């Protein structure tokens, strides 16, 4: 089909089709004799995919990487979701700023423009240190899980093939894209585009599979250093504190006093020690 028909079927304008061809996103065949473009059903589907991703504001380099198989579609969509969430947050802040300023009935001649620009250019200083800490804690936990995670497979792992099957089953269960790059008892693989090395940790009853990111330094939280340090401390301290409070409440109810204080201190210290060993070993 010609470019006019391709435009009608895909919903992409002819100038945009030519632009995508120029950018290397589409390479239609040429008819023998006249050299005119001859678009196929596969080209129409590609154009529709490009149109869909552009409607989501996905950048052209990302679309090109997806079409070439260099980046999984799921990973590209997740990255774009993060970008859109940031844009939503920025728009929400802008809407709130407009509402706050409008309530003051400002006049163009008397408005303190410098103060407004300072507030708009440095919103973090206005929000306070602890604002959004829950979302940041989730971000930290997600990145730490991406750097290292482990799971218990269904059966024992005795051969490279069983190892590969266990990794593939884990990826399918989590809805993640799995690509094996090196089979063996120390396999290497990609999970949603992140490179990992895995090893087996034999247990008394069941094996455990541990996976470490090949380049953990590239998995950055994007958080300010001070906030990240505080969240790391909270990640270590919150479990023993909660354990202390739970045992204190239970002991107080049972004994009517503080007779269990030594027990809860030991239990909390044990939980804290376990968290430290989990992090450092």
Residues 144 and 214 in one domain: yes
Mean of pLDDT over the chain: 81
Find the domain containing 247 and state its range: 225-280
Residues 59 and 99 in one domain: no
The CATH number linked to 45 is 1.10.1660.10
Residues 253 and 235 in one domain: yes
d(CA 201, CA 188): 16
Q: Residue 95: pLDDT above 80?
A: yes
Residues 211 and 241 in one domain: no
d(CA 275, CA 281): 10
H/E segment holding residue 220: none
Quote the number of domains for the chain: 4
**What mean pLDDT is predicted for residues 67-95?**
90
Q: Which residue has the higher pLDDT, 199 or 96?
A: 199
Give the tens place of pLDDT for each residue, 173-197.
988 899 999 999 999 999 988 899 9
Q: Which of 72-76, 198-202, 246-250 shows the lowest per-residue confidence on average (mean pLDDT)?
A: 246-250
Quickly tell me which residue has 């959004």 as its tokens. Answer: 132
Q: Where are the alpha helices (DSSP H) in 72-224?
A: 73-103, 113-121, 123-127, 133-147, 160-174
Q: How far is CA 196 from CA 60, 172, 177, 218, in A?
A: 28, 16, 13, 13
Residue 153 within a domain: yes
Residues 9 and 56 in one domain: yes
Give the tens place of pLDDT for each residue, 32-59.
776 788 889 999 999 999 999 999 999 9
Residues 179 and 205 in one domain: yes
What confidence score (pLDDT) does residue 247 get? 62
Residues 183 and 209 in one domain: yes
d(CA 166, CA 156): 9
Q: How far is CA 46 from CA 27, 28, 49, 80, 84, in A?
A: 10, 11, 5, 19, 23
Q: Are 207 and 156 in contact (CB under 8 A)?
A: yes
What confidence score (pLDDT) does residue 241 get? 67
Q: Which are the contacts of 29, defined by CB distance < 8 A and separation ≥ 6? A: 37, 38, 40
Residues 113 and 145 in one domain: no
Q: Are 3 and 10 in contact (CB under 8 A)?
A: no
Residues 60 and 83 in one domain: no
Residues 54 and 31 in one domain: yes
63, two tokens: 């679309």
Residues 145 and 205 in one domain: yes
Residue 132 within a domain: no
**What mean pLDDT is predicted for residues 208-232?**
82
Residue 133 within a domain: no
Residues 60 and 81 in one domain: no
Chain centroid to CA 152: 23
């Amino acid at each position: 089909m010609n470019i006019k028909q391709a435009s009608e079927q895909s919903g992409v304008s002819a100038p945009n089709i030519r632009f995508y061809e120029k950018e290397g996103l589409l390479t239609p065949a040429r008819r023998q004799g006249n050299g005119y473009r001859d678009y196929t059903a596969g080209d129409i589907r590609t154009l529709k995919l490009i149109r869909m991703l552009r409607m989501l504001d996905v950048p052209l380099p990302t679309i090109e990487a997806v079409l070439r198989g260099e980046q999984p579609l799921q990973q590209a969509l997740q990255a774009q979701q993060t970008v859109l969430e940031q844009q939503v947050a920025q728009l929400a802040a802008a809407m709130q700023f407009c509402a706050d300023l409008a309530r003051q009935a400002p006049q163009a001649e008397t408005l303190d423009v410098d103060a407004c620009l300072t507030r708009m250019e440095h919103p973090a200083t206005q929000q306070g240190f602890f604002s959004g800490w829950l979302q940041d804690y989730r971000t930290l936990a997600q990145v730490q899980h991406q750097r290292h995670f482990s799971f218990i497979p269904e059966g024992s792992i005795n051969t490279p093939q069983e190892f590969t099957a266990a990794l593939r089953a884990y990826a399918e269960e989590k809805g993640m894209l799995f690509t094996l790059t090196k089979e063996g008892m120390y396999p290497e693989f990609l999970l949603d585009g992140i490179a990992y090395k895995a090893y087996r940790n034999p247990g008394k009853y069941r094996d455990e599979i541990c996976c470490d990111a090949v380049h953990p330094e590239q998995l950055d939280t994007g958080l300010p250093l001070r906030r990240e340090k505080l969240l790391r401390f909270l990640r270590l301290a919150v479990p023993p504190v909660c354990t202390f409070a739970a045992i204190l409440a239970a002991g107080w109810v049972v004994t009517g006093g503080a007779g269990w204080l030594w027990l809860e201190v030991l239990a909390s210290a044990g939980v804290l020690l376990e968290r430290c060993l989990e992090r450092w070993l």
